[in-house]
Structure 1
Amino acid sequence: MSWTEIVIEVARTHAEALSDALIDAGALSVSVEDADFGTDAEQPLFGEPGMEPEEKAWEHSRVVALTPVEADQNAIVAEAAKTVGLSASNITFSLRPVEEQDWVRLTQSQFEPIHIGKNIWVVPSWHDAPDPDALVLELDPGLAFGTGSHPTTRLCMEWLEAHPSNGTVLDYGCGSGILAMVAKKLGAEEVIGIDIDPQAIEAARDNTERNRCEVAYYVPDDFAVSGHVHTFDVVVANILANPLKLMAPMLSGRVNPGGMLVLSGVLATQADEVIAVYAPFITLTVWKELEGWVALAGQLTSSASATVTG
Structure 2
Amino acid sequence: MSWLQIKTLIRPEQAEQLEDWLLEAGACAITLTDAEDQPVFEPIRGTTPLWQSTQLTGLYDGNLDVDLMLNQLQQSWQALYPDASVPVLQVEILEDKDWIREWMDSFHPIQMGQRLWIVPSWHQPPEPNAVNLILDPGLAFGTGTHPTTALCLQWLDGLDLKHKTLLDFGCGSGILGIAGLLLGADQAWGIDIDPQALQASQQNAERNGIDPARFPVYYPEDCPDLSCDVLVANILAGPLISLSEELSGLVHPGGLLALSGILAHQAEDVAAAYRRWFELDAIINKDGWVRITGTRKVD
Per-residue Cα deviation, 1:64-100 (whole angstroms, up to 9, x for no partner): 995553x6x4xx7469669979xxxxxxxxx997553
Aligned ranges 1:203-218 → 2 under 5 Å: 203-214=200-211, 215-218=215-218
Structure 1 residues 131-140 or 282-291, which shifts more?
282-291
**Structure 1 residues 137-156: aligned runs within 5 Å:** 137-156=133-152
Q: State the Cα deviation string for residues 256-289 of structure 1 (Å, max 9, x = none).
A: 1111111111222222211111122223233522
By how many angstroms is 1:146 displaced?
Answer: 0.7
**133 and 106 in structure 1: CA distance in 2 versus 1, 3 angstrom threshold:** same
- Equivalent residue of 1:171, what SS? strand
The offset of 1:109, in angstroms, is 1.2
- 244, 252, 256: which is aligned to 1:260? 256
Corresponding residue number in structure 2 for 1:269: 265
Amino acid at match of 1:119: R
Letter in 2 for 1:210: R
Which residue of structure 1 aligns with residue 222 of structure 2?
222
Bigger mean CA offset, 203-212 vs 190-199? 190-199
Select the residue among 154, 163, 177 that pairs with 2:159. Answer: 163
Are 1:197 and 2:185 matched, yes or no? no
Q: Where do residues 242-253 of structure 1 align in structure 2 (5 Å cutoff)?
A: 242-253=238-249
Counterpart of 2:123, as a letter, is H
Equivalent pairs counted in the alignment come to 248
C-alpha spacing 1:107/1:257, structure 2 compared with 1 (3 Å)? same
Matched residue of 2:252: which SS? Answer: strand
Change (3 A) 1:232 1:77: closer
Q: What amino acid does structure 2 have at the position aligned with 1:195?
A: D
The answer as to 2:172 corresponding to 1:175 is yes
Partner-residue secondary structure (3-state), 1:283: strand
Once the two structures are superposed, what CA deviation does each residue of 1:106-165 show, in whole Å capped at 9, x if it has no partner?
Answer: 111111111211121111111111111111111111214211111111111111111122
Q: CA deviation at 1:180?
A: 0.4
Instruction: Give the corresponding residue for 1:111.
Output: 107
Counterpart in the other structure of 2:284: 288
Counterpart contact for 1:147–1:176, Cα < 8 Å? yes
The residue matched to 2:111 in structure 1 has which SS? strand
- TM-score, structure 1 as length reference: 0.69
Q: Do 1:275 and 1:285's aligned partners in 2 also have CA atoms closer than 8 Å?
A: no
Give the residue type in structure 1 aligned to 2:273: V
Paired-residue identity, %: 41
Which segments of 5 or more consecutive residues in structure 1 lack a partner in the other structure? 7-18, 32-44, 57-63, 86-94, 304-310
1:122 is matched by which residue type in structure 2? I
2:129 alignment partner AA: D
Q: Residue 164 of structure 1 contacts residue 183 of structure 1 at CA under 8 Å; is this kept in 2? A: no
Separation in structure 1 between the aligned mates of residue 269 and residue 92 of structure 2, nearest angstrom:
56
Query: Is the 1:165–1:183 contact (alpha carbons within 8 Å) kept by the matching residues of 2?
Result: yes
CA gap 1:277/1:101 in 2 versus in 1, 3 angstroms: same
Alignment of 1:7-156 (within 5 A): 28=27, 66-69=60-63, 73=65, 77=67, 98-156=94-152
1:192–1:2 CA distance, 2 compared to 1 (3 A): same
Decide whether aligned partners of structure 1 residues 80 and 180 sit closer, same or farther in structure 2, where only a CA change above 3 A counts. Answer: closer
Q: Which residue type is aligned with residue 220 of structure 1? A: P
Equivalent residue of 2:124, what SS? coil
SS of the residue aligned with 1:280? coil
**Cα deviation, residue 181, structure 1:** 0.8
Gaps of 5+ in 2: 7-17, 37-50, 76-90
Instruction: Tell me if structure 1 keeps the 8 A contact 2:112–2:157.
Output: no
Corresponding residue number in structure 2 for 1:37: none
Q: CA deviation at 1:187?
A: 1.0
One-letter amino acid matched to 1:177: G
- In structure 1, how many angstroms separate the alpha carbons of the residues matched to 2:115 and 2:129? 9
Equivalent position SS for 1:286: coil
